[in-house]
Amino acid sequence: MQDGARPHRTEQAFRFLDEYFGNRVIALEYTKFTGAGMDWPPYSPDLTSCDYFLWGTLKDIVYPKHPATLDELESAICVACESISVETLRNVMANFILHLRHLCCANGEHFENIVM
Protein backbone atom coordinates (compact mmCIF):
# COMPACT_ATOMS: atom_id res chain seq x y z
CA MET A 1 0.00 0.00 0.00
CA GLN A 2 1.21 3.46 -0.76
CA ASP A 3 0.23 7.04 -0.01
CA GLY A 4 -2.64 6.05 2.25
CA ALA A 5 -4.28 3.82 -0.36
CA ARG A 6 -6.71 1.29 1.03
CA PRO A 7 -5.89 -2.42 0.74
CA HIS A 8 -7.41 -4.40 -2.11
CA ARG A 9 -10.57 -5.90 -0.63
CA THR A 10 -12.56 -6.67 -3.72
CA GLU A 11 -14.09 -10.04 -4.40
CA GLN A 12 -11.70 -10.48 -7.33
CA ALA A 13 -8.65 -9.90 -5.08
CA PHE A 14 -9.99 -12.32 -2.48
CA ARG A 15 -10.70 -15.00 -5.09
CA PHE A 16 -7.11 -14.65 -6.29
CA LEU A 17 -5.78 -15.04 -2.73
CA ASP A 18 -8.08 -17.99 -2.12
CA GLU A 19 -6.86 -19.71 -5.28
CA TYR A 20 -3.20 -19.47 -4.28
CA PHE A 21 -3.32 -19.62 -0.49
CA GLY A 22 -6.59 -21.35 0.40
CA ASN A 23 -7.67 -21.06 4.03
CA ARG A 24 -4.27 -19.67 5.12
CA VAL A 25 -5.28 -16.07 4.38
CA ILE A 26 -5.90 -13.62 7.22
CA ALA A 27 -7.47 -10.46 5.83
CA LEU A 28 -10.10 -7.88 6.67
CA GLU A 29 -13.49 -9.01 5.26
CA TYR A 30 -11.89 -12.08 3.63
CA THR A 31 -14.36 -14.56 5.12
CA LYS A 32 -17.26 -12.42 3.94
CA PHE A 33 -16.34 -13.16 0.32
CA THR A 34 -14.89 -16.66 0.50
CA GLY A 35 -16.28 -18.29 3.63
CA ALA A 36 -12.75 -19.54 4.38
CA GLY A 37 -9.63 -18.23 6.07
CA MET A 38 -9.61 -16.04 9.16
CA ASP A 39 -10.91 -12.56 9.86
CA TRP A 40 -8.30 -9.87 10.44
CA PRO A 41 -7.76 -9.60 14.21
CA PRO A 42 -8.71 -6.34 15.92
CA TYR A 43 -5.94 -3.76 15.91
CA SER A 44 -4.44 -3.59 19.35
CA PRO A 45 -1.00 -1.99 19.41
CA ASP A 46 -0.66 -2.29 23.17
CA LEU A 47 -0.59 -6.07 22.79
CA THR A 48 2.58 -5.93 20.71
CA SER A 49 5.71 -5.01 22.62
CA CYS A 50 7.46 -3.90 19.44
CA ASP A 51 4.66 -1.45 18.64
CA TYR A 52 4.36 0.20 22.02
CA PHE A 53 8.01 0.09 23.10
CA LEU A 54 10.74 -1.08 20.76
CA TRP A 55 10.14 1.00 17.63
CA GLY A 56 9.80 4.26 19.54
CA THR A 57 12.87 3.54 21.63
CA LEU A 58 14.95 2.64 18.59
CA LYS A 59 13.82 5.80 16.78
CA ASP A 60 14.79 7.90 19.81
CA ILE A 61 18.29 6.38 19.78
CA VAL A 62 18.90 6.14 16.00
CA TYR A 63 17.35 9.29 14.48
CA PRO A 64 19.38 11.88 16.43
CA LYS A 65 22.53 10.41 14.81
CA HIS A 66 21.17 11.22 11.31
CA PRO A 67 22.47 8.15 9.46
CA ALA A 68 23.14 9.16 5.86
CA THR A 69 23.42 5.75 4.19
CA LEU A 70 21.67 2.42 4.49
CA ASP A 71 24.82 0.90 6.00
CA GLU A 72 24.99 3.67 8.63
CA LEU A 73 21.30 3.15 9.43
CA GLU A 74 21.74 -0.61 9.80
CA SER A 75 24.78 -0.11 12.02
CA ALA A 76 22.98 2.49 14.16
CA ILE A 77 20.00 0.14 14.61
CA CYS A 78 22.30 -2.72 15.67
CA VAL A 79 24.08 -0.48 18.18
CA ALA A 80 20.73 0.80 19.48
CA CYS A 81 19.41 -2.74 19.95
CA GLU A 82 22.54 -3.73 21.86
CA SER A 83 22.18 -0.67 24.09
CA ILE A 84 18.79 -1.74 25.48
CA SER A 85 19.43 -3.35 28.85
CA VAL A 86 18.21 -6.77 29.86
CA GLU A 87 16.41 -5.15 32.80
CA THR A 88 14.50 -2.87 30.43
CA LEU A 89 13.48 -5.86 28.31
CA ARG A 90 12.34 -7.71 31.44
CA ASN A 91 10.18 -4.72 32.38
CA VAL A 92 8.69 -4.61 28.88
CA MET A 93 7.78 -8.29 29.05
CA ALA A 94 6.31 -7.93 32.56
CA ASN A 95 4.17 -5.07 31.28
CA PHE A 96 3.14 -7.16 28.27
CA ILE A 97 2.05 -10.00 30.56
CA LEU A 98 0.05 -7.50 32.63
CA HIS A 99 -1.66 -6.29 29.43
CA LEU A 100 -2.56 -9.88 28.56
CA ARG A 101 -4.05 -10.41 32.02
CA HIS A 102 -6.19 -7.28 31.64
CA LEU A 103 -7.27 -8.50 28.21
CA CYS A 104 -8.36 -11.84 29.69
CA CYS A 105 -10.26 -10.11 32.50
CA ALA A 106 -12.01 -7.92 29.92
CA ASN A 107 -12.96 -11.00 27.86
CA GLY A 108 -11.05 -9.63 24.89
CA GLU A 109 -12.85 -6.29 24.95
CA HIS A 110 -11.16 -2.89 24.96
CA PHE A 111 -9.68 -1.65 28.21
CA GLU A 112 -8.28 1.67 27.03
CA ASN A 113 -8.92 3.51 30.31
CA ILE A 114 -6.23 1.48 32.08
CA VAL A 115 -2.91 3.29 32.34
CA MET A 116 0.19 1.15 32.74
At 57-78, the pLDDT tens digits run 889 999 998 999 999 999 999 9
50 and 17, same domain (yes or no)? no
Least confident of 2-6, 76-80, 94-98: 2-6
57 and 73, same domain (yes or no)? yes
51 and 102, same domain (yes or no)? yes
Q: How many CA atoms lie within 13 A of 75 on its CB side?
A: 8
Residue 113 has pLDDT above 60, yes or no: no
49 and 102, same domain (yes or no)? yes
Per-residue pLDDT, averaged over 46-60, amounts to: 76
56 — phi, psi (to 5°)? -65, -40
What gap in Å lies between CA 43 and CA 97, rounded to an integer?
18
CB contact at 8 A, 72 and 63: no
pTM of the predicted protein model: 0.50
91 and 66, same domain (yes or no)? yes
53 and 100, same domain (yes or no)? yes
52 and 94, same domain (yes or no)? yes
Per DSSP, the three-state class of 27 is strand
Containing domain of residue 28, as a range?
Answer: 6-39
